[in-house]
């Protein structure tokens, strides 16, 4: 059969048995069985012999990952003497490559519903200053994961630090966690061990970077109303900002990387958040119609509520949302702000309106303070408390978004009610 340009749409639809070749990555093939199962392989000539390396089944192995692995196989030089030994050696090399390590790590994060999986993918694999292309350029080709040195990471961090000292702290955290995952996988005794050739967490040797002090910018009621009116739901990035406001100040990553299934039955269910814990919130009345429209417009082949328009398999990037905020800032002629300031904006105004800060900490999933608040309530009462906070957010937002300069709360029982417990 001739070569085709593989796409996820085509891969999901194809049923005719046979083997197909990809026009984008010359080594990549997919075999469609009579049962309908689809398996990726990488095929090339070596020493006059055709060598085939199985990559894995689709969709467990995504198209992008399959192309990466096939490209590595195409570029690697064979060192073994016999075709059989050479094929085995190359298969091992593909499996243990830095690209495979990063792809597997991000896939594992996504399978666990980790909100930051898309952001980590950008940092490690395909962002503008991602670690993987840096390593490829530095090594003159795709390195094995175990061949990446502390000097490699140090050089990448040095460039990152020169661009943004504040963000470097986050980057160090991401790579320390990735290497920790690889070490843990190597020594997993439960039968699921995978060896990437990484015996220790070399990233921990990198010095910690002091994090910048939190900002103090928050939008006034008038700015918030003007921003709300300027947000165009035809733009996915604008929908993120709108949901952040309507849900009382969610983190930008909690919205941008959430799955469509996280927003069901009137609740937002986040399996894992910034503090490592799950978080469950009732969807506010302000957010409900917006969530409904987002679900109706969600990409049919994407699991995300708001997928990346360029690649539905990925969420919107934080960088894209930040750029949208900058464009809005220029249009509205506001003092500088960024998406994270919306969280502070909502909390500041709601506290000023009379909601006990401890209950907002519960809503915003702020670790220690929320833990103290939780002690006052059993689970059923705790859910009722969140519903009360949701109602308070709605009653404050409604007049503000309609132009009233002051929001008004209807839920008076939330005002410092903790003192009565």
pLDDT tens by residue, 54-92: 787 888 778 887 888 788 777 765 444 455 555 445 545
DSSP state of 304: B
Spatial neighbors of 50 by CB under 8 A, at least 6 apart, are: 43, 44
For residue 123, give both structure tokens. 């940092």
DSSP state of 210: P
pLDDT of residue 92: 52
Q: 3-82: which CATH architecture?
A: 2-Layer Sandwich (3.30)
Ordered by start, the domain boundaries in the chain are 3-82, 98-205, 221-420
pLDDT of residue 421: 40
250, 283 in Cβ contact below 8 A?
no
For residue 120, give both structure tokens. 């980590």
User: Average model confidence (pLDDT) for the chain?
Assistant: 81
Closest C-alpha among 55, 47, 48 to residue 80: 47
The three-class DSSP label of residue 32 is strand
**Alpha-carbon separation of residue 188 from 79, 252, 299 (angstroms):** 30, 34, 36
Vertex 351, ends 394 and 328: CA angle to 5°? Answer: 65
pLDDT of residue 201: 93
**Alpha-carbon separation of residue 135 from 94, 131, 138 (angstroms):** 15, 6, 5
Answer whether residue 163 shows pLDDT above 80. Answer: no
Answer whether residue 404 shows pLDDT above 60. Answer: no
Highest mean pLDDT among 79-88, 107-116, 186-195: 107-116
CATH number assigned to the domain covering 221-420: 1.10.443.10
pLDDT of residue 62: 82
pLDDT of residue 154: 94
pLDDT band at 276 (very low <50, low <70, confident <90, very high): low
The mean-pLDDT minimum among 72-81, 171-180, 292-301, 408-417 falls in 408-417
pLDDT of residue 204: 92
Q: Residue 287 CA to chain centroid, in angstroms? A: 22
The mean-pLDDT minimum among 43-57, 89-103, 325-339 falls in 89-103
pLDDT of residue 153: 95
Closest C-alpha among 231, 290, 296 to residue 255: 290
214, 250 in Cβ contact below 8 A?
no
For residue 353, give both structure tokens. 């309106």
pLDDT band at 278 (very low <50, low <70, confident <90, very high): confident
Phi, psi of 195 (to 5 degrees): -100, 115
pLDDT of residue 211: 54
Answer whether residue 94 shows pLDDT above 90. Answer: no
Spatial neighbors of 105 by CB under 8 A, at least 6 apart, are: 120, 124, 178, 181, 182
DSSP state of 259: B
57, 64 in Cβ contact below 8 A?
no
The mean-pLDDT minimum among 215-224, 246-255, 304-313, 401-410 falls in 401-410
287, 246 in Cβ contact below 8 A?
yes
Spatial neighbors of 245 by CB under 8 A, at least 6 apart, are: 224, 227, 228, 342, 346, 397
The mean-pLDDT minimum among 30-34, 101-105, 124-128 falls in 124-128
Percent of the chain with pLDDT over 90: 33
Spatial neighbors of 138 by CB under 8 A, at least 6 apart, are: 152, 155
DSSP state of 334: P
Answer whether residue 23 shows pLDDT above 80. Answer: yes
Provide the β-strand partners of residue 307. Answer: 315
């Amino acid at each position: 059969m001739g070569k085709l340009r593989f796409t996820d749409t085509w891969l999901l639809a194809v049923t005719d048995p046979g083997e197909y070749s990809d026009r984008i990555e010359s080594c990549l093939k997919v075999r469609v069985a009579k049962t309908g199962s689809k398996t990726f392989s990488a095929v090339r000539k070596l020493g006059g012999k055709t060598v085939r390396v199985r990559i894995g089944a689709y969709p467990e192995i995504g198209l992008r990952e399959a192309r990466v692995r096939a490209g590595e196989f195409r570029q690697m030089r064979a060192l073994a003497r016999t075709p059989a030994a050479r094929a085995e050696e190359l298969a091992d090399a593909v499996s243990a490559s830095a690209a495979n390590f990063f792809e597997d790590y991000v896939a594992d994060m996504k399978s666990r519903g980790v909100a930051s999986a898309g952001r980590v993918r950008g940092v490690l694999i395909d962002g503008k200053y991602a670690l993987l292309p840096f390593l490829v350029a530095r090594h003159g080709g795709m390195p094995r994961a175990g061949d990446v040195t502390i000097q490699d990471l140090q050089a990448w961090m040095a460039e990152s630090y020169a661009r943004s000292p504040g963000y470097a702290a986050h980057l160090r955290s991401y790579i320390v966690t990735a290497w920790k995952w690889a070490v843990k996988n190597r020594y997993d005794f439960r039968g699921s061990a995978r060896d990437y050739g990484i015996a220790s967490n070399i990233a921990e040797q990198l010095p910690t970077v002091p994090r910048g002090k939190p900002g103090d910018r928050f939008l006034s009621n008038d700015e918030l109303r003007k921003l709300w009116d300027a947000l165009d739901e035809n733009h996915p990035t604008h929908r993120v900002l709108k949901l952040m406001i309507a849900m009382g100040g969610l983190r930008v990553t909690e919205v941008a990387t959430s799955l469509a299934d996280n927003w069901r039955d009137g609740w937002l269910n986040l399996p894992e958040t910034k503090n490592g814990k799950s978080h469950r919130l009732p969807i506010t009345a302000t957010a409900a119609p917006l969530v409904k429209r987002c679900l109706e417009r969600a990409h049919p082949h994407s699991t995300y509520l708001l997928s990346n328009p360029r690649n539905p398999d990925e969420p919107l990037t934080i960088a894209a949302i930040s750029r949208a905020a900058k464009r809005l800032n220029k249009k509205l002629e506001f003092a500088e702000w960024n998406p994270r300031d919306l969280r502070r904006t909502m909390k500041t105004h709601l506290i000023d309106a009379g909601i006990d800060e401890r209950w907002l900490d519960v809503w915003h999933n702020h670790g220690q303070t929320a833990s103290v608040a939780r002690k006052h309530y059993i689970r059923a009462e705790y859910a009722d408390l969140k519903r009360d906070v949701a109602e308070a957010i709605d009653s404050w937002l409604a007049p503000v978004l309609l132009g009233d300069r002051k929001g008004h709360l209807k839920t008076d029982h939330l005002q410092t009610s903790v003192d009565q417990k």
